[in-house]
Amino acid sequence: MPVTNNQTLGRGRLYFDKFTTGTQVGTGERYFGNTTEVSLTSESSNLDHYSSDAGVKTKDKSVQLELNRSATFITDNISPENLALFFLGAESAVTQTLLTTQTETFTAVKKGYFYQIGKTTNRPQGLGGLTNVVVSGPSGTPVYTAGTDYVVNLDTGHLEILEAGTIANAANVEVDYDIRAATFSRIITASEGTIEGALRYISDNPEGDNFSFFWPDVKITPNGDFALKGDDWQTIPFNVEILKKNDATEACYITGRPVYS
Protein backbone atom coordinates (compact mmCIF):
# COMPACT_ATOMS: atom_id res chain seq x y z
CA MET A 1 0.00 0.00 0.00
CA PRO A 2 1.23 3.55 -0.60
CA VAL A 3 3.07 5.33 2.20
CA THR A 4 1.53 8.56 3.47
CA ASN A 5 4.18 10.84 4.91
CA ASN A 6 3.36 12.52 8.20
CA GLN A 7 5.81 15.37 8.63
CA THR A 8 5.03 16.89 12.01
CA LEU A 9 5.69 20.20 13.73
CA GLY A 10 5.22 19.40 17.39
CA ARG A 11 3.12 21.41 19.79
CA GLY A 12 1.02 20.37 22.77
CA ARG A 13 0.10 20.63 26.43
CA LEU A 14 1.52 18.70 29.38
CA TYR A 15 -0.51 17.68 32.46
CA PHE A 16 0.52 16.06 35.76
CA ASP A 17 -1.70 14.06 38.11
CA LYS A 18 0.25 14.04 41.35
CA PHE A 19 -0.22 10.99 43.56
CA THR A 20 -1.17 11.45 47.19
CA THR A 21 1.99 10.84 49.22
CA GLY A 22 2.53 7.13 49.88
CA THR A 23 -0.13 6.01 47.38
CA GLN A 24 -0.69 5.65 43.65
CA VAL A 25 -3.95 7.58 43.82
CA GLY A 26 -4.11 10.74 41.74
CA THR A 27 -5.38 14.12 42.86
CA GLY A 28 -6.44 15.48 39.44
CA GLU A 29 -4.48 16.59 36.39
CA ARG A 30 -2.81 20.00 36.59
CA TYR A 31 -1.71 21.82 33.44
CA PHE A 32 1.97 22.76 33.68
CA GLY A 33 1.51 25.90 31.64
CA ASN A 34 3.58 26.64 28.56
CA THR A 35 6.31 24.05 27.93
CA THR A 36 9.05 25.13 25.54
CA GLU A 37 10.47 21.59 25.17
CA VAL A 38 9.20 18.04 25.72
CA SER A 39 11.48 15.15 24.72
CA LEU A 40 11.36 11.37 25.14
CA THR A 41 14.24 8.90 25.43
CA SER A 42 14.15 5.10 25.19
CA GLU A 43 17.31 3.07 25.87
CA SER A 44 17.88 -0.67 25.99
CA SER A 45 20.71 -2.87 27.19
CA ASN A 46 21.35 -6.30 25.62
CA LEU A 47 23.39 -9.36 26.50
CA ASP A 48 25.05 -10.62 23.32
CA HIS A 49 26.33 -14.11 22.61
CA TYR A 50 28.99 -14.94 20.00
CA SER A 51 29.88 -18.21 18.30
CA SER A 52 33.61 -18.88 18.69
CA ASP A 53 33.85 -22.27 16.94
CA ALA A 54 35.83 -21.05 13.95
CA GLY A 55 37.22 -17.94 12.29
CA VAL A 56 35.79 -14.57 13.24
CA LYS A 57 33.43 -14.63 16.18
CA THR A 58 29.85 -14.15 15.01
CA LYS A 59 26.98 -12.86 17.05
CA ASP A 60 24.29 -15.53 17.10
CA LYS A 61 22.04 -14.34 19.95
CA SER A 62 21.07 -11.11 21.66
CA VAL A 63 18.82 -10.96 24.71
CA GLN A 64 17.40 -7.71 26.00
CA LEU A 65 18.22 -7.16 29.66
CA GLU A 66 16.89 -3.67 30.32
CA LEU A 67 14.56 -1.11 28.80
CA ASN A 68 14.63 2.39 30.27
CA ARG A 69 12.19 5.08 29.25
CA SER A 70 12.56 8.69 30.35
CA ALA A 71 11.65 12.19 29.33
CA THR A 72 12.70 15.77 29.87
CA PHE A 73 10.69 18.93 29.66
CA ILE A 74 11.13 22.65 30.24
CA THR A 75 8.43 25.07 31.30
CA ASP A 76 8.52 28.85 31.38
CA ASN A 77 5.44 29.01 33.62
CA ILE A 78 7.07 30.06 36.90
CA SER A 79 4.09 29.17 39.06
CA PRO A 80 4.25 28.25 42.77
CA GLU A 81 3.27 24.65 41.92
CA ASN A 82 6.07 24.30 39.36
CA LEU A 83 8.60 25.86 41.72
CA ALA A 84 7.54 23.38 44.41
CA LEU A 85 8.17 20.51 41.97
CA PHE A 86 11.62 21.85 41.11
CA PHE A 87 12.61 22.17 44.76
CA LEU A 88 10.96 18.84 45.69
CA GLY A 89 8.82 20.69 48.16
CA ALA A 90 5.23 21.60 48.88
CA GLU A 91 3.30 24.76 48.02
CA SER A 92 0.58 26.15 50.24
CA ALA A 93 -1.48 29.29 50.63
CA VAL A 94 -0.76 31.01 53.94
CA THR A 95 -3.17 33.37 55.68
CA GLN A 96 -1.62 36.12 57.76
CA THR A 97 -3.84 37.67 60.43
CA LEU A 98 -3.83 41.31 61.44
CA LEU A 99 -1.66 42.10 64.45
CA THR A 100 -0.84 45.47 65.98
CA THR A 101 1.86 46.96 68.25
CA GLN A 102 4.62 44.50 67.42
CA THR A 103 8.11 45.42 68.67
CA GLU A 104 11.51 44.09 67.69
CA THR A 105 15.06 45.15 68.61
CA PHE A 106 18.12 44.99 66.36
CA THR A 107 21.47 45.26 68.11
CA ALA A 108 24.65 46.84 66.79
CA VAL A 109 23.29 47.78 63.37
CA LYS A 110 25.58 49.04 60.61
CA LYS A 111 25.11 51.85 58.15
CA GLY A 112 24.34 50.58 54.64
CA TYR A 113 23.23 47.15 55.90
CA PHE A 114 19.83 45.49 55.64
CA TYR A 115 17.83 43.74 58.36
CA GLN A 116 14.83 41.43 58.03
CA ILE A 117 11.88 42.19 60.27
CA GLY A 118 9.92 39.36 61.86
CA LYS A 119 12.49 36.55 61.89
CA THR A 120 11.83 33.69 64.32
CA THR A 121 12.95 30.08 64.65
CA ASN A 122 9.75 28.90 62.98
CA ARG A 123 9.73 31.76 60.48
CA PRO A 124 13.39 32.28 59.48
CA GLN A 125 12.41 34.12 56.29
CA GLY A 126 10.81 36.92 58.30
CA LEU A 127 7.59 38.88 57.83
CA GLY A 128 6.08 40.91 55.01
CA GLY A 129 2.90 42.89 54.68
CA LEU A 130 3.78 45.51 57.33
CA THR A 131 2.38 48.93 58.07
CA ASN A 132 2.88 51.79 60.58
CA VAL A 133 6.61 51.07 60.91
CA VAL A 134 8.48 53.32 63.35
CA VAL A 135 12.23 52.99 63.93
CA SER A 136 13.68 54.51 67.08
CA GLY A 137 16.38 54.15 69.67
CA PRO A 138 15.94 51.90 72.70
CA SER A 139 12.79 52.65 74.70
CA GLY A 140 11.47 54.75 71.81
CA THR A 141 13.95 57.64 71.70
CA PRO A 142 15.14 59.17 69.50
CA VAL A 143 12.58 58.55 66.74
CA TYR A 144 14.33 58.23 63.38
CA THR A 145 13.02 59.59 60.10
CA ALA A 146 11.89 57.30 57.31
CA GLY A 147 13.63 58.08 54.01
CA THR A 148 16.42 59.96 55.81
CA ASP A 149 17.68 57.53 58.42
CA TYR A 150 16.20 54.31 57.12
CA VAL A 151 14.05 52.78 54.37
CA VAL A 152 11.73 49.82 54.86
CA ASN A 153 10.03 47.75 52.16
CA LEU A 154 6.59 47.16 53.64
CA ASP A 155 5.80 44.22 51.34
CA THR A 156 8.96 42.26 52.22
CA GLY A 157 9.80 43.62 55.68
CA HIS A 158 13.37 44.47 54.59
CA LEU A 159 14.88 47.36 56.58
CA GLU A 160 17.85 49.40 55.31
CA ILE A 161 19.96 51.60 57.58
CA LEU A 162 20.95 54.52 55.34
CA GLU A 163 24.60 55.57 55.08
CA ALA A 164 23.83 59.29 55.34
CA GLY A 165 21.35 58.95 58.21
CA THR A 166 21.75 59.72 61.89
CA ILE A 167 21.59 56.10 63.08
CA ALA A 168 25.12 55.46 64.36
CA ASN A 169 27.15 52.37 63.61
CA ALA A 170 26.76 49.73 66.35
CA ALA A 171 23.59 51.42 67.61
CA ASN A 172 20.67 49.41 68.94
CA VAL A 173 17.37 50.24 67.25
CA GLU A 174 13.79 49.40 68.09
CA VAL A 175 11.27 48.70 65.34
CA ASP A 176 7.55 49.03 66.06
CA TYR A 177 5.08 47.87 63.42
CA ASP A 178 1.67 46.42 62.63
CA ILE A 179 1.08 43.31 60.51
CA ARG A 180 -1.57 43.54 57.81
CA ALA A 181 -4.07 40.78 57.10
CA ALA A 182 -2.93 39.09 53.90
CA THR A 183 -2.58 35.83 52.01
CA PHE A 184 0.48 34.66 50.12
CA SER A 185 1.97 31.57 48.54
CA ARG A 186 4.72 29.71 50.39
CA ILE A 187 6.97 26.88 49.23
CA ILE A 188 8.88 24.78 51.75
CA THR A 189 11.63 22.75 50.11
CA ALA A 190 12.66 19.13 50.63
CA SER A 191 9.44 18.27 52.39
CA GLU A 192 8.35 15.56 49.96
CA GLY A 193 11.47 13.87 48.49
CA THR A 194 10.02 11.79 45.66
CA ILE A 195 7.22 13.30 43.58
CA GLU A 196 5.25 10.66 41.69
CA GLY A 197 2.15 10.71 39.55
CA ALA A 198 0.70 10.22 36.07
CA LEU A 199 1.75 12.34 33.11
CA ARG A 200 -0.29 13.22 30.02
CA TYR A 201 0.72 15.04 26.83
CA ILE A 202 -1.97 16.10 24.38
CA SER A 203 -0.53 17.24 21.06
CA ASP A 204 -1.98 20.14 19.10
CA ASN A 205 0.27 20.21 16.06
CA PRO A 206 0.07 22.94 13.44
CA GLU A 207 1.32 20.31 10.98
CA GLY A 208 1.02 16.52 11.24
CA ASP A 209 -1.27 14.03 12.94
CA ASN A 210 -2.09 14.51 16.61
CA PHE A 211 -1.51 11.90 19.31
CA SER A 212 -2.17 11.80 23.03
CA PHE A 213 0.55 10.28 25.24
CA PHE A 214 -0.22 8.92 28.69
CA TRP A 215 2.22 7.55 31.26
CA PRO A 216 0.39 6.03 34.27
CA ASP A 217 3.36 6.23 36.63
CA VAL A 218 6.29 8.65 36.53
CA LYS A 219 8.71 10.27 38.93
CA ILE A 220 9.56 13.93 38.35
CA THR A 221 12.86 15.44 39.49
CA PRO A 222 14.67 18.74 38.78
CA ASN A 223 17.10 18.74 35.86
CA GLY A 224 19.66 21.54 35.77
CA ASP A 225 19.67 25.27 36.35
CA PHE A 226 16.89 27.64 37.28
CA ALA A 227 18.31 31.08 36.48
CA LEU A 228 16.97 33.67 38.87
CA LYS A 229 18.49 36.50 36.83
CA GLY A 230 19.31 36.95 33.16
CA ASP A 231 18.25 38.44 29.83
CA ASP A 232 16.01 35.52 28.81
CA TRP A 233 12.65 34.31 30.10
CA GLN A 234 13.04 32.17 33.19
CA THR A 235 12.59 28.44 32.60
CA ILE A 236 12.40 25.40 34.89
CA PRO A 237 13.85 22.07 33.62
CA PHE A 238 12.64 18.64 34.72
CA ASN A 239 13.56 14.96 34.33
CA VAL A 240 10.88 12.30 34.09
CA GLU A 241 11.51 8.65 34.99
CA ILE A 242 8.85 6.51 33.31
CA LEU A 243 7.84 3.45 35.37
CA LYS A 244 5.57 0.45 34.90
CA LYS A 245 2.83 0.91 37.46
CA ASN A 246 1.85 -2.77 37.80
CA ASP A 247 1.56 -6.00 35.81
CA ALA A 248 -1.82 -5.00 34.39
CA THR A 249 -0.71 -1.55 33.22
CA GLU A 250 1.76 -0.69 30.48
CA ALA A 251 4.33 2.06 30.85
CA CYS A 252 3.04 4.21 28.00
CA TYR A 253 -0.15 4.61 25.97
CA ILE A 254 -0.21 6.56 22.70
CA THR A 255 -3.62 7.26 21.20
CA GLY A 256 -4.51 8.87 17.89
CA ARG A 257 -7.49 11.12 17.38
CA PRO A 258 -10.81 9.36 16.77
CA VAL A 259 -12.09 9.08 13.21
CA TYR A 260 -15.90 9.17 13.19
CA SER A 261 -18.05 7.29 10.73
Residue 191 has a pLDDT of 60
CB 200 within 8 A of CB 7: no
Q: Tell me the C-alpha distance between 13 and 34, whole Å.
A: 7
Q: Tell me the C-alpha distance between 165 and 143, whole Å.
A: 12
Residue 22 has a pLDDT of 85
Determine phi and psi for 191, rounding to 5 degrees.
-95, -10
CB 204 within 8 A of CB 13: yes
Residue 228's identity, in one-letter code, is: L
Q: Tell me the C-alpha distance between 134 and 111, whole Å.
A: 17
Q: How many Cα atoms are found within 13 Å in the side-chain-facing hemisphere of 218?
A: 25
Determine phi and psi for 250, rounding to 5 degrees.
-80, 165
Q: Tens of pLDDT along the chain (261 residues)? A: 678 889 999 999 999 999 998 899 999 999 999 999 999 999 999 999 999 988 899 999 999 999 999 999 999 999 999 999 999 988 899 999 999 999 999 999 999 999 999 999 989 999 999 999 999 999 899 999 999 999 999 999 999 999 999 999 999 999 999 999 999 999 988 766 779 999 999 999 999 999 999 999 999 999 999 999 999 999 999 999 999 999 999 999 999 999 999
Residue 198's identity, in one-letter code, is: A
Determine phi and psi for 88, rounding to 5 degrees.
50, 45
Q: Tell me the C-alpha distance between 5 and 207, whole Å.
A: 12
Q: What is the pTM (predicted TM-score) of this model?
A: 0.87
Residue 4 has a pLDDT of 84
Q: Tell me the C-alpha distance between 216 and 227, whole Å.
A: 31
Residue 192 has a pLDDT of 63
Question: Is CATH 2.30.110 the right assignment for the domain spanning 12-48+61-91+188-256?
Answer: yes
Residues in the chain: 261
In which element (H, E) is residue 108 found?
A: strand 99-109
Q: Tell me the C-alpha distance between 23 and 230, whole Å.
A: 39
Residue 188 has a pLDDT of 87
Domain regions of the chain by residue span: 12-48+61-91+188-256, 98-180
Q: How many Cα atoms are found within 13 Å in the side-chain-facing hemisphere of 258?
A: 2
In which element (H, E) is residue 253 found?
A: strand 253-256
Q: What is the dihedral of CA 206, 210, 215, 220, to 10 degrees?
A: 0
Q: Tell me the C-alpha distance between 23 and 197, whole Å.
A: 9
